[in-house]
Amino acid sequence: MHKEYLAALQALADPDRAQDMRAYHKVDREYLGLTNPQLNDLTKEWRDTLDIDTRVAVADGLWRSNIFEGRIAAAKLMTQARMRPDDEAAWQLIATWYRDFDSWAIADHACMAGQKRLLANPSRIDRVEGWTRSEHMWTRRAALVITLPWTKQNNPKPADLEVRERVLGWAASYAADPQWFIQKAIAWWLRDLSKHDPVRVNTFIAQHGDAMKPFARKEAVRLMK
């Protein structure tokens, strides 16, 4: 089912740009050289014309292609605030992708899709918590990226505050992790939270900052006065 959509991506291929992308992302897979606006235009058209079940099937096929633009397009197909009549199939698909994460660009697009599904049903965070115990660095990182919406709320409800504290607990467990991408993800979460709850960020840094890498600690408080 996905082959005609993959062909639409391949028809826009730019070999020179694809070579540059391979060098930039440093992951051995096929790159077509499409721009983000091109992917946005195509996937918006597909979202507007396909029902949810078909979109899930197409996204699954595009992801399995392991082509860079195929995976980005799969994530964009699944990025939508409301899915009717039901979003469970979409969530189930997104929640399997973490095992394949091997680059920040693909992981971040997939997590953006996952953020919408978590906001639609926060109980799904129970599943995400399992990612924090993975030996796979990109999976551990994804647990923080997919929960970023809880850093951005101006007036969080009690349930939102519970989620926020839960994720901060994960971040605390990561504080001594030597992986650069993990440290960057902790800093990202705290930096975004600092715009809305600087007191909580200061508390976190006081408790766990010594375990963090200096660059991450500095980035976490960069926006705070």
Instruction: Give tens-digit pLDDT for 45-59.
Output: 999 999 999 999 999
187-205 mean pLDDT: 97
DSSP assignment letter at 214: H
C-alpha gyration radius of the chain: 18
Percent of the chain, pLDDT > 70?
A: 99
At 43, list the tokens.
């996937």
Residue 84's pLDDT is 86
Q: Is 192 exposed, middle or buried (0-12, 13-18, 19+ CB in 10 A)?
A: middle
* Helix 104-120 × helix 68-77 angle, to 10°: 10
Average pLDDT along the chain: 96
Q: Is the pLDDT of residue 225 over 90?
A: no
At 64, list the tokens.
């399995």
Q: List pLDDT tens digits, range 2-15.
A: 899 999 999 999 99
Q: Is the pLDDT of residue 1 over 70?
A: no
178-202 mean pLDDT: 97
Q: List pLDDT tens digits, range 121-165.
A: 999 999 999 999 999 999 999 999 999 999 999 999 999 999 999
DSSP assignment letter at 35: -
Residue 15's pLDDT is 97
Chain center to CA of 192: 15
Residues 6+ apart with CB under 8 A from 202: 221, 224
204-210 mean pLDDT: 98
Q: List pLDDT tens digits, range 26-51.
A: 999 999 999 999 999 999 999 999 99
Which CATH number does 121-225 carry? Answer: 1.25.10.90
Q: List pLDDT tens digits, range 158-188.
A: 999 999 999 999 999 999 999 999 999 999 9
Proportion of the chain in helix, strand, coil states, percent, rounded to 5: 70, 0, 30
- Domain boundaries of the chain, sorted by first residue: 1-101, 121-225
Q: What are phi and psi of 53, to 5 degrees?
A: -60, -40
Altogether, the residues listed in the chain come to a count of 225
Q: What angle do CA 68, 63, 143 make, to 5 degrees?
A: 90
195-220 mean pLDDT: 98
Q: Is 164 exposed, middle or buried (0-12, 13-18, 19+ CB in 10 A)?
A: buried
Peptide bond into 178 cis (omega under 30): no
DSSP assignment letter at 122: G
* Helical spans, DSSP H, in 50-103: 52-64, 68-77, 88-97
Looking up tokens 């650069």 gives 180
Q: List pLDDT tens digits, range 66-118.
A: 999 999 999 999 999 899 889 999 999 999 999 999 999 999 999 999 999 99
* Cβ contact 65:78 at 8 Å: no
